[in-house]
Amino acid sequence: MGVADVVYYTFHFTELRSIIQWKTWHNPVHERNREKEPVSLQICFDFLDKTSRSFSTVIQELHPQLLVPIALFYLILRGLDTVEDDMTIALDEKMKVLREFHQTAEKEGWSFSGNGPDEKDRELLVQFHYVTEEYRKVKPVYREIINDITRQMGDGMADYCKKAADGKAGVDSIKDYDLYCYYVAGLVGNGLTRLFVESGLANPALNERLHLQTSMGLFLQKTNIIRDVREDWDDKRRFWPREIWSKYVEDFDDLFRPENREAALNCSSDMVLNSLNHADECLFYLAGLKEQSVFNFAAIPQSMAIATLALVFRNPDIFKKNIKITKGSACQVMLESTQNLQKVCEVFTRFVRKIHKKNTPKDPNFLKISIACGKVEQFIASIFPPQDPKALQRAVEAAPQLVKKEEDPATIKAREEEKWDLIYMMIAVMGTMFVLSCFMIGLAWLLGARFDVAVDQLTQRFSKADTAPAQTPVNDYDQREL
């Protein structure tokens, strides 16, 4: 932690508290046992840590049945993305590798060293034979799903690379924008859903709701595209659709000019609106996940996305630099998102209200954004109806025994846990004060403090106070002067 972090958390103590709570109180539903893994699988997880620390954490807490398949699924798609992003690879070779990646991922000993020396994840492909070695051990039904998604994504990336070579790489319509996000993220949601259902850890009905699977991926990808607009512009890439930005500026580069700041903010709010329209379907999807580790795996990124969306909404900094939510805020969101759907809905409600609060009538999208925020809250209210305190009090007074009988066991358990948490905290505080007191006294003694002299002086002072005779107050006033 640097000096800047120390200063920041000095004035944002609640965020520091969230970090400490996450590090101290978070208990993984399942823990990976590295000692029982072969060396090749250990190397795969090392690459997972290097390529994405955020996803690596939630993946390694997954149910043992899905731990390895999803970890390898991520590495395979990361390898595919590394080939697609590298502009030093010749077009013909790149398209061939992309279209055949789903087959080569199963070939024994296959690796790829054609990336440029500066490509970030080049080493993953150089040592990809470790991934193929472990991938061939995965259950055939899981491999079939991963192969299908890899094939579709590879074909989509190859088509996009061909368009880029022909000078048609820009995203023109919202339909093109949705299609691009589907290929790079929506397909991932589709593949993960099929893995969840196949493992028996999700409701089979999710397989029939393709729009819900797609929204999970699109919500994440669109939020990242909004957040990374400056970084992409610096790299001469444009993912914001012309159909949206052309309503506000003549040329996409104009969004980054200070004199067009208000138009740029209105354009960004239009992009946020496009992403926000997927939020309620993401919550609907999460309701179909049965197992806690799978729920955590899916819920954390979605909660991070809504928090990021609230951060970037009408924020001029996105056109100056890449911005992210703070580590403290991220830990708070993760703590809340690893409990249950109701807590995740509370996270969504909090950040949707932040968006609504930042919304301004000067924005041409003001009404649409207000409706989109209301739509999310309305959906949440349909799952968890808000309680009227007065009506609840009347019900308690009218039927106290019935209420007591039907009290939720989870509520009772939570209340009991809160009581013990308070007790433990008080013990911790008192213990800390005791240890500090002992330390200070010991330090004083080492530096030569004479506690015996201090005790003698205090004893003499109190003994004198007890034995001294009472004195009659003397009136010094001259009565004649009165």
Give per-residue pLDDT as tens, 137-176.
999 999 999 999 999 999 988 888 888 777 666 688 999 9
Amino acid of residue 1? M
Higher pLDDT, 389 or 228: 228
* Reported confidence tier of residue 431, pLDDT bands at 50, 70, 90: confident
**Active-site residue flag, 177:** no
As a residue count, the chain comes to: 482
Residue 264 has pLDDT above 70, yes or no: yes
Q: Which of 180, 182, 183, 219 is catalytic?
A: 180
Concerning whether 180 is annotated as a catalytic residue, the answer is yes
Q: How many secondary structure helices (H) and strands (E) does the chain include?
A: 24, 0
Average pLDDT over residues 81-85: 87
| 3-state secondary structure (DSSP) of residue 117 | coil
Residue bearing the bigger pLDDT, 27 or 381? 381
Choice among 112, 128, 227, 285 that is catalytic: 227
- C-alpha angle 299-303-307 in degrees, rounded to nearest 5: 170
For residue 425, the model assigns a pLDDT of: 77
Top pLDDT among 421 and 185 is at 185
**Cα separation, 98 vs 89, whole angstroms:** 12
Q: How many of the other CB atoms lie within 10 Å of CB of 196?
A: 27
Question: SS3 letters for 463-477?
Answer: HHHHHCCCCCCCCCC
Catalytic residue among 73, 74, 130, 297: 297
pLDDT at 475: 44
pLDDT band at 389 (very low <50, low <70, confident <90, very high): low
Q: What was the pLDDT predicted at 427?
A: 87
Q: Tell which residue, 163, 138, 167, has the closest CA to residue 150.
A: 138
**pLDDT of amino acid 168:** 65
Residue 464: predicted pLDDT: 58
CA distances from 60 to 57, 81, 482 (A): 5, 21, 92
Top mean-pLDDT range of 105-114, 220-229, 448-457: 220-229
pLDDT of 84 over the 70 cut: yes
Torsion angle defined by CA atoms of residues 156, 158, 164 and 168, in that order, rounded to the nearest 10 degrees: -50
Q: Of residues 62 and 428, which shows the higher confidence score?
A: 62
Amino acid letter for position 197: V
Are 134 and 109 within 8 A, CB to CB?
A: no
Q: How far is CA 204 from CA 181, 433, 440, in A?
A: 25, 54, 62
302 pLDDT tier (thresholds 50, 70, 90): very high
Q: What is the pLDDT of residues 190-234, one digit of tens each?
A: 999 999 999 999 999 999 899 999 999 999 999 999 999 999 898
Q: What is the pLDDT of residue 470?
A: 46
Selected residue with higher pLDDT from 386 and 227: 227
Tokens 């946020």 correspond to 272
Alpha-helical segments (H) within 287-365: 292-312, 327-337, 341-358
Annotated catalytic residue: which of 17, 99, 237, 350? 237
* Residue 227 annotated among the catalytic residues of the structure: yes
- Determine how many CB atoms are found less than 10 A away from the CB of residue 32: 18
Does the annotation mark 297 as catalytic? Answer: yes
What are the angstrom distances between the C-alpha of 445 and each of 406, 434, 453, 456, 459? 61, 16, 12, 16, 20
